[in-house]
Chains A and B, each alone.
Chain A
Amino acid sequence: MNIKTIVIALIILFANFSFAQNKTYTVSGQVTDSSNGEDLPFATVAVKNISGIGTTTNVYGFYSLTLQEGNHTIIYQYLGYEPFEKEISLTSDVKINVELTESTHKLQEVVVTAKKEDHNITKNEVSVTKLDAKEIKEMPSFGGEPDIIKAIKMNPGVKTAGEGNSGYYVRGGGLDQNLVLLDEAPVYNPSHLLGLFSVFNGDALKSATLYKGGMMPEYGGRASSVMDIRMKDGNMKEYDITGGIGLIASRLTVEGPIVKDKGSFMLSGRRTYIDLLLKLSSDDDLSNTTLYFYDVNLKANYKITDKDRIYLSGYFGRDVFGFSDDFGLNWGNATGTLRWNHLFSSKLFSNTSFIFSDYDYEFGFGADEDRIALQSVIHDINLKQDFTYFPNSNNIIKFGFNAIYHTIEPGNITAGENTGVNSDDAEEEYGIEGAIYIQNEQKINSRLSVNYGFRYSFFDQLGPGTSFRFDENGDYLSEEYYNDWESIQFYGGIEPRLTANYILDSKSSLKLGYNRNYQYLHVLTNSTSSTPTDTWIMSSKNVEPQLADQVSLGYFRNFSDNMFESSVEVYYKKMQNIIDYRTGANVFLNEQLEGDLVYGDGKAYGAEFFVKKKTGKLTGWMGYTLSRSLKQFDEINDGDWFPSRQDRIHDISIVALYRLSDKLTVSGNFIYYTGDAVTFPTGRYEVDGKINPYYTERNGYRMPDYHRLDLALTWITKSTERFEASWSFSLYNVYGRENAYSITFQPNEDDPTVTEAVQLSLFRWIPSFTYNFKF
């Protein structure tokens, strides 16, 4: 299909809109939380007695619903909130802002509401995981820090990159194939403390949505997934202070109205103090160690007029790690988003965003004249325009564009006089990534809804810069220099997207999703987890964009009046131009690094089973994934397909919360997965006076299976209108399983003629406690 056919097809479909028979009017407005004025995204807006008519609010809590003239009862619903009904007599366009009240979670009142909370059946979304920041507060956490990324990794199809690691694999895709957005700004490295914590402070967030498949055309840029994280807007009604004091870190959040019901702000900060404890240590090695991180989230919004609202949000975080003057490593992200929501009419919603994102790391050895340091930066400036058009109750059309200007500084070296190293900046790289998209979410009839559209994305690598050519062995052939703004290499392509939802009956539905994604930025890493020193590279003459096509099919069913949600999804994902290294590649400051890369194909397929219990004393979910992920490179493993590292065949995760009383909640996590596919030596030989490993096949072995249980207890010590206090206690790895972090094959230290395998395990029984308060 070329672009023209698609456009014509869309025009024909959209042309249906003009044939509405009777007079129609539009109801639009905002759905917010009554206690603090926070927008409620994805809240359901339905019309009583007319099945199949309704909509959901967008990420800013805005909805628009066009109905026929006459009397209607509109029902507003949001999970965990009391539903609200509004009777209207529709004779002209009206604006209705609704505030929903949170259902009190007092035990005696946990009753299933008469209204159906069957969002997961009716919503035309496949392979999407949504988590409310509130949901994770009572889950067991590592070091007492609730972590939204870790909670999302407890869902089927999402696999952690390893113990204490913020990286994750989605449906067999690579670590670099996930886009993480914080208020629309990409976060290039979402890890603190080398991945023990994510950069997202639970107190500052509203929600996280992970798109594993069936991605809408508004999203793009990575081959496997998009994680869309939104910060809290800040309390519109009154001032709030929340905080927590823990073993490892403390956090404090202040929020409140700028002008009541017109504007609000939120400021949240967090800092660890392990380093302060280390200072007390009598061990010099420990007391000379610096090790901390901090982060700050800020958000403010203001309704300038009824039709205009401005948001400003920002994140800044930093990790600092070092030993006296000898060694230092620090890294951090900074993002900023300036947004303008504008209503052109009750049917046309617009959002314009200007986004900035920066990630940099620096490490160095020695001090003063002896110092040698390396700094690397990636930063983006992004303009994004999105429109949502609500022509009638059966269609929602979204369209827009964005353009990102990427700059990568691969390595700037600063060296003191004594080092003998030249201070030098590696050549910077520039590129423009752009996209236009259009999609329509259409209700064909009361059972079938389809969301279809496409995204056209492109990437232009720009000068100034040098482009290298290599032969098939990766050896240098020639180079060519390009001037400022000269196009070095252009790539572009259509990304068709489709999701369909067919409601079988009030309890079940079938869903289908297809998406194609191009990826123009790639991460190269020496190791298999995300680390601060990962190298980002752009698509270029040598590096073609990665491309993924994915089909998913799901069956969704609810039980016991929607008390249980369940689903089975199967998927098949084909990946092209995925990147790996030649053996012995030199990643570090190598301007001809592209010559050390090889390109191949990947495929991943699997089935995901999921059950969630939403109400009652016991809540939680269970997921099981059966999947494979394979790769093929002409240069590796004789060109045969081999398992990706993340080819974990079985993966189980269970999250359970049990409310003992109003004040006490216990919770537990359990995870189990098949060990990673890894390369072990099959033989040994003597060279260079020592015994060396001999490798015969890539990823032909397995790490031992991983499993772990965590428990937590939340104890609310005080809960009044004005003050709330609670303790949370967590125990990580309850039964002290020695999970293999790494296995090293090496000669025995005492007798180098004997070879042995040594397993390193981290984190057995890590207890933590945190005191949380709110007033």
Chain B
Amino acid sequence: MKKIIYSTIISLLIMSQYACEKVIDVDLDEADQELVIEALLEEGLHNFQVIISKTAPYFDNQPTEKIDNATVTLSDGGDNTYAIPNINDGTYEALIHAEANKTYTLRVELDGNEYTAESYLPGQVQLDTVYAEYEEGFGPQDEGYVVYFKYTDPANTDNYYRVRHYLNDELQNTGEDMQIFNDNLNDGNTVRYPLFLKTFDFEDTVAVELIHFDEASYDYFNSLADISGASTGPNSGSAAPGNPISNWTGNILGYFSAYSNDSLTLIITE
């Protein structure tokens, strides 16, 4: 919400030509390299991927260093443990059939250290409908078609969501596209949200994916969204930016998130 208010104000100032933006040089220190482990486990039978890399200096515009010598295993809380082998370029991959209502544990051993993360996989929440409406622009939002989606939140449990969308089959994945929410204010309701601040054109194909995940995943992505394109000014979205809240042990970066999802596709006509 706050982000919207600010981007609205800033865009107004920019429109009014009181404000100007420019790229500047900033001298940044180089920090020690830190380990980053990213893993997404989708419900159903899918290729499960773990990517292990390291941080790089901020303005180092190279692909970051990848780690291929780790031992990665996944267990499903029961008797099943799967080895996830390295395929190259920091990627570890295996075909896994992930089931809802299970808590998965991912274990990474690297250079004598062990890192673990747990993630609970909640059941699918279905999208009821996806539709578009033509709307006038305001502030940061242009004039055009606004896409709305509706779903029914499971009652009496805390639910956490992320929505992603594909425009003409291409995933839209900038900081502004991160839409993370929970059911604090609408537990058990049929909920309608727009794809925030996005407008589309006639004949666009828009696929909406509703991701349902656990609280730790929500905390991670929500705090990641806070710093995505974070500005450091008096009115920035995050007063004191910090690294996202990770579910990994051992103070490293990244996350392990198990999730279920549902998608609907819309072609914008009248």
Contact residues of A with B, CB < 8 Å? 161-163, 165, 194, 283-286, 288-289, 291, 323-324, 326-327, 329, 363, 374, 413, 418-422, 424, 525-529, 531, 533, 580-581, 583-584, 586-590, 636, 676, 678-690, 692-696, 698-701, 703, 738, 740-747, 752-764, 766
**Is the beta-carbon distance between A743 and B232 smaller than 8 angstroms?**
yes
Q: How many residues of chain B have a CB within 8 Å of chain A? A: 89
Which residues of the partner chain B approach A529 to less than 8 Å between Cβ atoms?
234-235
- Whether A289 touches B185, Cβ cut-off 8 Å, given contacts A527-B237, A685-B53, is no
**Is the beta-carbon distance between B227 and A689 smaller than 8 angstroms?**
no
**Is the beta-carbon distance between B174 and A690 smaller than 8 angstroms?**
yes
Near A by CB (< 8 A), chain B positions 126-164 give 135-139, 141, 143, 150
Interchain CA distance A286-B11 in the complex, whole Å: 11
Which residue of the partner chain A has the closest CB to B4? A327
**Is the beta-carbon distance between A682 and B31 smaller than 8 angstroms?**
yes
The smallest C-beta distance from A145 to any residue of chain B, in angstroms, reads 16
Which residues of the partner chain A approach B254 to less than 8 Å between Cβ atoms?
685, 687
Interchain CA distance A519-B238 in the complex, whole Å: 25
Which residue of the partner chain B has the closest CB to A278? B16
**Is the beta-carbon distance between A695 and B23 smaller than 8 angstroms?**
no
Residue B112 lies at the interface, judged by CB distance under 8 Å to chain A: no
**Is the beta-carbon distance between A685 and B229 smaller than 8 angstroms?**
no
**Is the beta-carbon distance between A326 and B136 smaller than 8 angstroms?**
yes
Interchain CA distance A37-B10 in the complex, whole Å: 46
- Whether A692 touches B34, Cβ cut-off 8 Å, given contacts A527-B2, A682-B58, A742-B234, is no
Interchain CA distance A363-B20 in the complex, whole Å: 27
Interface centre among A163, A686, A761 (most CB of B within 10 A): A686
New A-B contacts (17) at CB < 8 Å, excluding given A420-B189, A758-B23 = A194-B9, A286-B16, A289-B139, A326-B141, A420-B186, A424-B185, A528-B234, A683-B30, A683-B58, A741-B233, A742-B231, A742-B232, A742-B234, A757-B26, A758-B22, A759-B21, A761-B20
- Whether A588 touches B1, Cβ cut-off 8 Å, given contacts A422-B185, A694-B31, is yes
- Whether A327 touches B139, Cβ cut-off 8 Å, given contacts A757-B24, A766-B18, is yes
**Is the beta-carbon distance between B171 and A528 smaller than 8 angstroms?**
no
The smallest C-beta distance from A186 to any residue of chain B, in angstroms, reads 23
- Whether A584 touches B231, Cβ cut-off 8 Å, given contacts A533-B2, A684-B58, is no
Residue B253 lies at the interface, judged by CB distance under 8 Å to chain A: yes
Which residues of the partner chain B approach A586 to less than 8 Å between Cβ atoms?
222
Interchain CA distance A194-B5 in the complex, whole Å: 11
The smallest C-beta distance from A335 to any residue of chain B, in angstroms, reads 25
Interchain CA distance A676-B60 in the complex, whole Å: 26
Interchain CA distance A738-B13 in the complex, whole Å: 15
Which residue of the partner chain A has the closest CB to B133? A370
Which residues of the partner chain B approach A742 to less than 8 Å between Cβ atoms?
231-236
Interchain CA distance A401-B215 in the complex, whole Å: 48
Which residue of the partner chain A has the closest CB to B221? A688
Interchain CA distance A757-B173 in the complex, whole Å: 20
Q: Which of B80-88, B98-106, B241-249 contacts A (4 or more CB under 8 A)?
A: B241-249
**Is the beta-carbon distance between A684 and B64 smaller than 8 angstroms?**
yes
Residue B110 lies at the interface, judged by CB distance under 8 Å to chain A: no
Near A by CB (< 8 A), chain B positions 190-249 give 190-192, 219, 221-224, 226-245
**Is the beta-carbon distance between B237 and A685 smaller than 8 angstroms?**
no
Interchain CA distance A531-B171 in the complex, whole Å: 35
Residue B25 lies at the interface, judged by CB distance under 8 Å to chain A: yes
**Is the beta-carbon distance between A695 and B21 smaller than 8 angstroms?**
no
A-B contact pairs, 8 of them (CB 8 A): A327-B138, A363-B5, A374-B1, A527-B234, A588-B1, A636-B240, A684-B64, A694-B58
The smallest C-beta distance from B223 to any residue of chain A, in angstroms, reads 3
Q: Choose among A421, A683, A698 the residue that contacts B185 (Cβ–Cβ < 8 A).
A: A421
Residue B6 lies at the interface, judged by CB distance under 8 Å to chain A: yes
Which residues of the partner chain B approach A754 to less than 8 Å between Cβ atoms?
61
Which residue of the partner chain A has the closest CB to B152? A420
Could you give, for residues 45-72 of chain B, a 1 whenever the CB lies within 8 Å of some chain A CB and a 0 otherwise?
Answer: 0000001011111111101100000000
**Is the beta-carbon distance between A583 and B243 smaller than 8 angstroms?**
yes
Which residues of the partner chain A approach B2 to less than 8 Å between Cβ atoms?
526-527, 533, 587-588
The smallest C-beta distance from B93 to any residue of chain A, in angstroms, reads 16
Which residues of the partner chain A approach B223 to less than 8 Å between Cβ atoms?
583-584
Which residues of the partner chain A approach B63 to less than 8 Å between Cβ atoms?
753
Which residues of the partner chain B approach A763 to less than 8 Å between Cβ atoms?
18-19
Q: Choose among A288, A422, A686, A687 the residue that contacts B224 (Cβ–Cβ < 8 A).
A: A687
**Is the beta-carbon distance between A741 and B19 smaller than 8 angstroms?**
yes
Interchain CA distance A56-B226 in the complex, whole Å: 54
Q: Choose among A163, A285, A324, A698 the residue that contacts B240 (Cβ–Cβ < 8 A).
A: A698
The smallest C-beta distance from B79 to any residue of chain A, in angstroms, reads 30
Interchain CA distance A419-B153 in the complex, whole Å: 13
Which residues of the partner chain B approach A527 to less than 8 Å between Cβ atoms?
2, 6, 234-237, 239
Which residues of the partner chain B approach A746 to less than 8 Å between Cβ atoms?
175, 229
Which residues of the partner chain B approach A421 to less than 8 Å between Cβ atoms?
185-186, 189, 191
Which residues of the partner chain A approach B243 to less than 8 Å between Cβ atoms?
583, 694-695
**Is the beta-carbon distance between A681 and B58 smaller than 8 angstroms?**
yes
Interchain CA distance A413-B1 in the complex, whole Å: 14
Q: Choose among A583, A588, A682, A692 the residue that contacts B245 (Cβ–Cβ < 8 A).
A: A583
**Is the beta-carbon distance between B233 and A323 smaller than 8 angstroms?**
no
Which residues of the partner chain A approach B108 to less than 8 Å between Cβ atoms?
none
Q: Choose among A680, A685, A753 the residue that contacts B36 (Cβ–Cβ < 8 A).
A: A685
Interchain CA distance A533-B9 in the complex, whole Å: 14
Q: Choose among A329, A695, A700 the residue that contacts B5 (Cβ–Cβ < 8 A).
A: A329
**Is the beta-carbon distance between A422 and B58 smaller than 8 angstroms?**
no
**Is the beta-carbon distance between B186 and A759 smaller than 8 angstroms?**
no
- Whether A755 touches B22, Cβ cut-off 8 Å, given contacts A285-B15, A285-B139, is no
Residue B113 lies at the interface, judged by CB distance under 8 Å to chain A: no
